[in-house]
Every structure is written in C-alpha cells, then in structure tokens.
Amino acid sequence: MRRYRLACLDIDGTLTDGVGGPALAGAVDAVRDLRTLAEVRLVTNTTSRSQRALAAWLVNLGLITEPDHLVLPARLAHRLLPSRGHDSGVLLVDDSAREDFAWFREDPEGAAVLVASEAHGLRVLDLQSAFRALLRGAALYTLQANRYYRKDGALVTDLGPVAAFLGYAGGREPVNLGKPSRLLFEALAAEVGARLDEVLMAGDDAEFDACGAVRLGMAGVLVRTGKYRDGDEARVSPAPTAVLPSIADLAAWLRGGDRVPARRRPGRG
C-alpha cells in the first residue's frame, strides 16, 4: 500500500476532455475511489475561466462535491500578493476570469505585474505598459509557467511564454503561482496537515505535473492521456514516480499494484 494524505489531480486531459468538455472514461469513478484513500483536490493551471464557473462545471460532472476542492493559481495569488503589498499594478487577464481578481487594483504605477492570460488576443504593443512597470521596479507574477496546452485538438502556447517574454524584457524573474510552485503545494499540504512527501500529484504534463512534483519531494504520476506524447517520460528529469495509462489506474497503483506498462493507452470517453 502506497500511503499519501493528499492526492492532487490535474483536470484538463487528465479528468476531462478539455476545459468545459466531458469527463474521460472512468474519471468520475476514479476520483470517488481515490477519496477512500486520501484527501483529493483538483489542481489546475487553467486561467481562462473563473473559480465559480469551473467549480459549477466540475460539480455537474460529479468530479467534486465541494467548490473549495477545486484549486486555481488565482487562489494563491489572492492569498499571497496582498500580504506582500503587491495587490495593485498591471493585470493581464481574460474577461471570463476577471471576477477572481476583484481584489487587485489595476494601476500602471502599481507594485506588480500579474500574468493571468495566454494573451492570444493581444499584440506585443498591448504588453508595453507591463514592460514599463517592470522597468520601474514592479514585481512579476505569473499564474503558471506552462509552455503549451491542448485547445480544440491543437497545441497552443500557454502563460509561460508570455511571462518569459516580459521577464526577459523587464529584467525580472517571474514568480510562478501555479503547478509546480512550492508555494502552491506547501499551502495545499498545510490545509490538510500533510508534509510534501505525503502529497501526490497526477496529471498529463510530464514536466509540470509529474517531474515538478518529484523535484519538490512529492510523488509525481504521469498519465498517458490529454497532452501526453509518446516518450514524454523520457524527456524529463527527475523521472515520474509512475507512468499509468489513465487516472482510472491510480487507485490500483496506490493499493500496491506495479507500474502499468507504458505501451497501454486508453481511449477517451
């Protein structure tokens, strides 16, 4: 029996077929089974929708029963930035998620630049106020640093490239508030009274879900669904704790089953 007090599960590509899409085959039963073994939180780097909208969708799918069991990077931002005096500045956010940042005062002379959008609809010209704020000494935060994600069947760039562009131009190292941020996972572990080595992260991103968790001293499980590409586990270091066909195999692995052969990959449902 592999014992963990907290199981953190990615959503898009791990539990569902895209944001707003249906649950993958076996995902609802898998989450229900996992709750008999550990506390479960759905931890996503999704930034295009609000906490309220995402929670309502997941409750409807049967993947969560409590809205607080959904964790977005915006939650950590709300907790951390005001405590640092960084609750004003330049905010890059999609209108669909803006309600989660009512606490942040938009002011080009403020103390922070907060990247909360992939900026697909923006031009380089639209980023100049953020760039100038960084030159004046503003801190740079990003809700996550993922390189890309899958949207409508294609891979598209994520927040990471936007934060990297601004960080390079403004001479600031972005502070990452999403997976695999130590700040995020330490906050989640504290909520359930666990140590980091008692926390498991499972998802379809080899770098940010699996490898990132292992680097923090957690267990990192890679599932071969969603954005996973053949051989992803061999392209990251440290290696994932386990590689499984899907989230439906995680409870069996926790109960002591061996790693599932990497050649198996289930279809979506």
> Would you say residue 266 has pLDDT above 50?
no
pLDDT at 246 over 60: yes
- Token code pair at residue 257: 């089953």
Band (pLDDT 50/70/90 cuts) for residue 175 is: very high
Per-residue confidence (pLDDT) for residue 263, from 0 to 100: 36
Residues 6+ apart with CB under 8 A from 209: 10, 14, 179, 180, 201, 202, 203, 220, 221, 222
Q: Report the chain's mean pLDDT, rounded to a whole number.
A: 93
**Arithmetic mean of pLDDT, 1-24:** 93
Give how far Cα 223 sits from Cα of 62, 143, 152, 220, Å: 20, 23, 20, 10
- Per DSSP, 23 falls in state B
CATH for 6-45+179-254 (3.30.750.24, 3.20.20.370, 3.40.50.1000, 3.40.50.150):
3.40.50.1000
pLDDT at 268 over 60: no
Pairwise CA distance, residues 223 & 14, whole Å: 7
- Does residue 60 contact residue 21 with C-beta atoms inside 8 Å? no
What pLDDT was estimated at residue 129? Answer: 97
Ranges 44-48, 53-57, 256-260: which has the least confidence: 256-260
Residue with the larger pLDDT of the pair 269 and 174: 174
SS3 261: coil
Chain CA centroid to CA 96, Å? 18
pLDDT in tens, 214-227: 999 999 999 999 98
Above 60 in pLDDT, residue 262?
A: no
| Residue 18 banded pLDDT, cuts 50, 70, 90 | confident
Per-residue pLDDT, 214: 98
Q: For 70-74, 80-84, 151-155, which range has the lowest pLDDT when averaged over its residues?
A: 151-155
Q: What is the CATH number of domain 83-176?
A: 3.40.50.1000
Residue limits of CATH 3.40.50.1000 in the chain:
6-45+179-254, 83-176
Residue 234 CB neighbours (<10 A): 11
The whole-number average pLDDT for the span 43-67 is: 95
- % the chain with pLDDT above 70: 95
pLDDT at site 220: 98
Q: Is residue 267 predicted with pLDDT exceeding 50?
A: no
pTM over 0.85: yes
Assess contact for 212 and 180: CB atoms under 8 A. Answer: yes
Question: Per-residue pLDDT tens for 115-168?
Answer: 999 999 999 999 999 999 999 999 999 999 999 887 887 889 999 999 999 999
- Exposure string of 105-133, with b = 16+ CB inside 10 Å and e = fewer, is eeeeebbbbbbbbbbeeeeeeebeebbbb
* DSSP code per residue over 26-56: THHHHHHHHTTTSEEEEE----SS-HHHHHH
Q: Would you give the end-to-end CA distance of the chain in angstroms?
A: 29
Structure tokens at 136: 């004046």
User: What does residue 91 show for φ and ψ, rounded to 5 degrees?
Assistant: -120, 125
Beta-carbon contacts of 6 under 8 Å, excluding residues fewer than 6 positions away, are: 38, 39, 40, 41, 188, 189, 192, 194, 198, 199, 200
